Chains A and B, each alone.
Chain A
Amino acid sequence: MPENHFRGRGREMLQISDLTCGYDSGFTIRDADLSVETGKILGIIGPNGSGKTTLLRVMTRALKPIKGKILLEGENIWRMSVKELSRKISVVSQSPETGFMTVEEYVLLGRIPYYERFQFLETKKDKEIALNAMTLTDSIRFKDQYIGELSGGERQLALMARALTQEPKLLLLDEPTAHLDITHQVGILDLVRRLNRNIGLTVVMVLHDLNLASEYCHRLALLNNGKVHKEGSPEDVIDYRIIEDVYKTVVVVEKNPLSSRPFVMVVSEEARKTNTGGRIIK
């Protein structure tokens, strides 16, 4: 892969304006505006049911918006072909079915968007790109294993390798750290940051863990009830008033002494009653 392959041209990689979308049972996202700057990592956070995954699905065309526009590098994603879109955006969804195949076979599926009409076999270049992606994600060491036999962390690496094989400009991650221990959580997110720094990949990821989001993202978008409640830098968004307001839980926000990013600590009911930690709680 050439250096800076993933770097986009304009400043805004993705622009969502006035977006309303949802399922049959009712609207889940209403009048959302959000933009993702090229070469940055945007974290989408929010309580369960706030519309995080829905927002991600609408970016991949899995869900059609009722109103509003989604522009990828200034171009409406619904005006592109699905194939064209899959060359620009790749997605790592939450525990997808992976079929019965080896890691290498799975990663090579990421080249499907680039196949010619009558091409059935992957070319040498396809294989090189897949190999490169596996090297980058360090999934090459288990490339001949079946995906079903991998541990959760290894599996996530394989999914990342497949996503990179698509040579995207924008990478969408749906809770990449779910069900992983802290070693693998940090491993995956360090990888995301490396990809962002080294090849200029723009990343949008949905995260449940506020501390990981604060630590790794340039910008955060906090969703609540289908609306973008607050968008800004981690310092702006991870504020105890905002978090308590949205999550309806008492928290203490401190600074991480090493990265000086905000850090959220939860407070149990018991601790809340016996010790307010110097802060007056309603």
Chain B
Amino acid sequence: MKVRFAYWTVAILTLAWFLAITCIVSLCIGSSDIPLAKILPALLHGGNTIERTILCDVRLPRILLGVAVGGALSLAGVILQGMFRNPLVEPYSMGISGGAALGVCMAIISRLGNRCGIWFLPVSGSIGAILTILVVYFLSTRRRVFNIRNVLLVGVMISFICSSLITLIMAVSRVEDLHGIIFWIMGSLEQPNVLLVRFAVIVSVLSLALSYFFCLELNALALGEEEALHLGISVENTKRLLFVMASVTTGLSVSVAGIIGFVGLVVPHFMRLFLGSDHRILLAASWLCGGIFLVFCDALARTIISPTELPVGVITGILGGIIFVYVLCRKTTSGGGGVKCFK
């Protein structure tokens, strides 16, 4: 037991260390490289140098947003996979991304963006996400029992409906709108609104803290709902609160940064593989690792064909997909088949 605690501490410290390194490297590189030695003076001493402007106004918010969104998505992934006892669930399985994307698409083709300012798209995305959450919630509740299997079915169906509608919108929309829609759907951490970045960071950190109130509940739920009840967990309340928490963090991430796929699916898997299925370590570890993964992918997206920038969703998709397949193959060859974590 003591060994386990030490192992957890080491894991958290290692991940935090990696996060710090990734962030610092990410600060240095970009379309204009800033040497490491210049970063601290530029950040601390102020002044109006070009370096400071690049660092504080462009790269730092971007990295912070990367940590916040990556963390939030992975956290939502861990919570949902734990709650559903299903390794293929990710934050977007509940249709939230579809709803948010539909909201943003409609906002883009309505062309009110110029008049309503930079809040317009995130707010439309949030409205879309909230509407989806409400629909999924009410369609999955029967006789005051929140049926999580229905959540998945309803969520997947809503995703399909939304993506069909988005395709419809794209088919009839004008070329200049089309570019905006595609870029938004692929996801990007470029967010000029500093207030929104702050908001995302606060919500992400808060949800990590809040999730720790439920770590034992999640551990018990791994045994099934009735077993969790036998262990004194109020299953209905827990399911509802966890669903709301995961939805809100996902909805916010989608509204701020678009649809960044695979983070919420791959990172929790990866952490489970190394740290086991105890949510007391899994929540924090996944949050950190999600931050690392997204900041890393974003750095790649910025630099790979610089000065042109790739949508970060493309990088996470390719990189995440390859990692996922690799992990799955390794598991099936060594573990005797099946996804071990959920047996």
Contact between A120 and B280 (Cβ–Cβ < 8 Å)?
Answer: yes
Q: What's the nearest-Cβ distance from chain B to residue A235, in Å? A: 33
- For A86, A87, A90, the residue with the greatest tally of chain B CB atoms inside 10 Å of its CB is A86
A36 to B57, CA, bound (A): 72
B 222-236 to A, binary, CB cutoff 8 A, 1 in contact else 0: 111011011111100
Contact between B220 and A60 (Cβ–Cβ < 8 Å)?
Answer: no
A 102-138 to B, binary, CB cutoff 8 A, 1 in contact else 0: 0001000110110100001110000100000000000
Instruction: Identify the closest chain B residue to A104 (Cβ).
Output: B1
Asked whether A100 and B230 contact (CB < 8 A) given A112-B216, A148-B343, the answer is no
Contact between B234 and A120 (Cβ–Cβ < 8 Å)?
Answer: no
**Is B276 in the interface zone, CB < 8 Å from A?**
yes
Instruction: Identify the closest chain B residue to A62 (Cβ).
Output: B226
Q: What's the nearest-Cβ distance from chain A to residue B44, in Å? A: 36
Q: What's the nearest-Cβ distance from chain A to residue B230, in Å? A: 4
A166 to B232, CA, bound (A): 10
Contact between B216 and A90 (Cβ–Cβ < 8 Å)?
Answer: no
Q: How large is the interface on B (under 10, 10 to 19, 20 to 34, 35 or more residues)?
A: 20 to 34
Contact between A121 and B222 (Cβ–Cβ < 8 Å)?
Answer: no
A101 to B82, CA, bound (A): 13
B227 cross-chain contacts in A, Cβ below 8 A: 93, 96-97
Q: What's the nearest-Cβ distance from chain B to residue A22, in Å? A: 14
Contact between A86 and B230 (Cβ–Cβ < 8 Å)?
Answer: yes
B340 cross-chain contacts in A, Cβ below 8 A: 100
Contact between B231 and A110 (Cβ–Cβ < 8 Å)?
Answer: yes
Q: What's the nearest-Cβ distance from chain B to residue A234, in Å? A: 28
**Is B278 in the interface zone, CB < 8 Å from A?**
yes
**Is B39 in the interface zone, CB < 8 Å from A?**
no
Q: What's the nearest-Cβ distance from chain B to residue A218, in Å? A: 24
**Is A21 in the interface zone, CB < 8 Å from B?**
no
**Is B5 in the interface zone, CB < 8 Å from A?**
yes
**Is B18 in the interface zone, CB < 8 Å from A?**
no
**Is B341 in the interface zone, CB < 8 Å from A?**
yes
**Is A98 in the interface zone, CB < 8 Å from B?**
yes
A266 to B289, CA, bound (A): 62
Contact between B276 and A100 (Cβ–Cβ < 8 Å)?
Answer: yes
Q: What's the nearest-Cβ distance from chain A to residue B214, in Å? A: 11
A81 to B232, CA, bound (A): 8
Contact between B224 and A109 (Cβ–Cβ < 8 Å)?
Answer: no
Asked whether A109 and B220 contact (CB < 8 A) given A100-B342, A101-B276, A120-B212, the answer is yes
Instruction: Identify the closest chain B residue to A147 (Cβ).
Output: B343
Asked whether A113 and B223 contact (CB < 8 A) given A100-B277, A120-B216, A127-B1, the answer is no
**Is A253 in the interface zone, CB < 8 Å from B?**
no
A81 cross-chain contacts in B, Cβ below 8 A: 232
B 308-343 to A, binary, CB cutoff 8 A, 1 in contact else 0: 000000000000000000000000000000001111
Q: What's the nearest-Cβ distance from chain A to residue B11, in Å? A: 15
B 197-222 to A, binary, CB cutoff 8 A, 1 in contact else 0: 00000000000000010011001101
A61 cross-chain contacts in B, Cβ below 8 A: 229
**Is B85 in the interface zone, CB < 8 Å from A?**
yes
A8 to B340, CA, bound (A): 42
Contact between A97 and B1 (Cβ–Cβ < 8 Å)?
Answer: no
Asked whether A99 and B1 contact (CB < 8 A) given A82-B232, A113-B232, the answer is no
A267 to B280, CA, bound (A): 56
A99 cross-chain contacts in B, Cβ below 8 A: 222-223, 277, 342-343
Asked whether A60 and B280 contact (CB < 8 A) given A100-B340, A120-B212, the answer is no
A60 to B227, CA, bound (A): 10
A51 to B256, CA, bound (A): 53
Q: What's the nearest-Cβ distance from chain A to residue B138, in Å? A: 20
Partner of A97, one of B5, B85, B230: B85
**Is A83 in the interface zone, CB < 8 Å from B?**
yes
Name 18 extra pairs, CB < 8 A, besides A84-B232, A96-B223. A60-B226, A60-B229, A61-B229, A62-B226, A81-B232, A82-B234, A89-B230, A93-B227, A96-B226, A96-B227, A97-B223, A99-B223, A101-B277, A105-B278, A109-B220, A112-B220, A112-B231, A121-B5
